[in-house]
Each structure stands twice: as C-alpha cells, then as structure tokens.
Amino acid sequence: MGCCSSRSSDSPASRVARWRSTGIVGLRDARLKEVPNEVLQVGNSMRILDLTNNKLVEIPQEVGRLVNLQRLVLAGNLIENIPANIGYLRNLKILTLDRNKITSLPEELGSLSNLQQLSISQNSLLCLPKSVGDLRTMSLLNVSDNKLKALPESIGGCKSLEELQANVGKSQSLPLRILSPLYELNKAGPYSVCTDLEVKYAGNSIEDVPSSICSLVCLKSLLLNGNKIRQLPQNLLKDCKALQNISLHNNPITMDQFQQMDGFQEFEARRRKKFDKQIDSNVMMSSTALDEGIDLH
C-alpha cells in the first residue's frame, strides 16, 4: 500500500502519532467505507490525505477542520456530494476527486484561494459552480468525462489556468460553446496564460468542426476519434500555433485532405519536435507514438 500507508499491526495511537509526525496519511486500497476517526484525530498536523480506491460514500464534515491540508486525494470512491465546509481548507493546493459519483460542487469551492489543481473527471457533473472563477491560482482543471453542457462564464477569471481537460455530450457539431469563456483568456495571443488546452470529443456523431476553434491559440491537443468528420477548418493548423497533437481515427477525412491544409508543414514540425524531446528524455513510447493521427484511406 506504499510507504505512507497504515500497517495492520499498528495500534490506533501509534498510527496517529506517526501521521502527526509526518503530516501524511495514506490509506489507499484499504476497503474503507468511512473515514476512520483516528484519521480525523491527526488534526492540524495533516498536510496530505490520500484515500484513493476505497468505498467511501461521503466526506465527513470534520474534514473541514483540517485547515493545514494541502493535498486531498479521494479518487476511486463512491462519493456523491462534497460538503460546503470544504471551503474552509484555505491552504489546499491539490484536490483530486476523479472516478466518483459526484453530481455537483458547492459554491464554497471558490473559497479555496490557494488551489492549484482540481481534477474531477469521470463523475456525473451537470455544471460547475460560478465560484470556480474565483480560483485565480488554479493552473489545472480536469472535468473530462462528466455530463457538462457548458462552462460557466466566470471561468474567464481563472487567470492562472494553463491546462483544461473537458468534453461534453453528443452533438453533430463540436459544441465549442463549452469553451467560449476561454476565448477571453486567449485574446492575449502568445502571452495568454492558458498554454495547454486539450479538447477531447471522441466517439460521437460530429460532422462539423466550427471555424471558431481557430481562436483557441492555446489549443495543444485535439482528440476527435470515432466521429463523422470529413474536413477541418482550413486555417486550424495555421492559427493554432500551439497545436501538437490531432487524433482523427475512424473519421471519413483523408490524409491527403489533412496534408493540404494551410500550416500543415509547421504543424508537422511541432509534432516531430515534441516526439524528439520525448525520445531525448528516454520516455518509453508505444509503436504508435508518432502516429499520423488519421487513418489512411
């Protein structure tokens, strides 16, 4: 269970003492159905709480008292609701809630003034609270694989946002209205804070990619596998100068069409430069690492 996990032979008192000493509580894969009282007894000494891959159905109100907590990881549980008093965790920097059953987030989320990363993918979110725009130190937001139909206009207030991962429900046209609040962040062009935007919308029935996507100058990755796309906006590769990765497998568009687009040579150079950096860093890569991204027809 890892170096910071509980040892079954420990007494509750010795565990609490050790956790207070290190500030780290790690109880991954412990089959927990609720947060043990001894965890909450650690109190203000706790900086990291990791309860990944358990069977938790709720977050106890007492978590709001852990005011020095910097990292809270609750991925892979059965949580449906987030208590409002999570807003008391003013020192929290990383909040990970992936793979739960969460349908909404409290407005108090906006009180997390030091939050840098919020990941809540693979849940059942229908919308985000307006207060998400108050998270001015947040650099990463992952809300992919939810039931979102739009992002709140207030997200334009996330001035430190560098990476956004989001996708939405089925449509015949790529619903870029979900990203419309980000156009304001993009007006700064190469000086825009948002530098790593991923649009993922695979396995739908998209036929049309609107030309407005060319305004997303921070777009780095466009993943549209398994749709009905026959063409892309002609200036996509030319205008989206940060774009390094396009995946269009299982679409009618042909490689020849793609290569005829304005800016293809520049895009190809960016893509290969990224690949070369990965090789130079000795990154283990699959045989498809330099995949062209489009099926040959």
High-pLDDT (> 90) share of the chain, %: 52
For range 202-216, the mean pLDDT:
81
State yes or no: pLDDT of 20 exceeds 90: yes
What are the beta bridge partners of residue 166?
Answer: 199
The residue among 216, 183, 169 whose CA lies nearest residue 197 is: 216
Q: What is the pLDDT of residue 149?
A: 78
Compute, in degrees rounded to 10, the torsion defined by CA atoms 13, 17, 23, 29: -40
Identify the residue with better confidence: 266 or 170. 266
State yes or no: pLDDT of 44 exceeds 50: yes
High-pLDDT (> 70) share of the chain, %: 79
Q: Which residues fall within 8 angstroms of residue 276, CB to CB, at 6 or more apart?
A: none
Q: What is the pLDDT of residue 84?
A: 96
Q: What is the pLDDT of residue 198?
A: 73
What are the angstrom distances between the C-alpha of 153 and each of 84, 132, 172, 251? 22, 10, 23, 32
State yes or no: pLDDT of 95 exceeds 50: yes
Average pLDDT of the chain is: 83
User: How do residues 108-136 score in pLDDT, each as one tens digit?
Assistant: 999 999 999 999 999 999 999 999 999 99
Exposure pattern of 226-238 as b/e (b: 16+ CB <10 Å)? bbebeebbeebbb
The residue among 165, 211, 162 whose CA lies nearest residue 185 is: 162
State yes or no: pLDDT of 189 exceeds 80: no
Query: Does the predicted model carry a pTM greater than 0.85?
Result: no
State yes or no: pLDDT of 6 exceeds 60: no
Phi, psi (degrees; rounded to nearest 5) at 223: -115, 105
Domain assignments of the chain as residue spans, ordered by start:
1-166, 170-297
State yes or no: pLDDT of 51 exceeds 70: yes
Q: Which residue has the tokens 């099926």?
A: 295
In this structure, are residues 196 and 162 in contact, taking their beta carbons and an 8 Å threshold?
yes
State yes or no: pLDDT of 168 exceeds 80: no
Q: What is the pLDDT of residue 94?
A: 98
**Of the candidate ranges 12-16, 157-161, 245-249, 273-277, the one whose mean pLDDT is the lowest:** 273-277
- Distance separating alpha carbons of residues 291 and 234, to the nearest angstrom: 21
Identify the residue with better confidence: 278 or 246. 246
- Distance separating alpha carbons of residues 74 and 180, to the nearest angstrom: 30
User: How do residues 272-297 score in pLDDT, each as one tens digit?
Assistant: 887 765 544 444 333 333 355 666 44
Q: What is the pLDDT of residue 96?
A: 98
**Neighbouring C-beta atoms of residue 89, cutoff 10 Å:** 23
Burial of 221 from C-beta contacts in 10 A (0-12 / 13-18 / 19+) = middle
For range 250-261, the mean pLDDT:
91
Query: Considering the domain 1-166 in this protein, what is its CATH number?
Result: 3.80.10.10
The residue among 161, 110, 118, 166 whose CA lies nearest residue 139 is: 161
Q: In the structure, what pLDDT confidence band is assigned to residue 2 with cuts at 50, 70 and 90?
A: very low
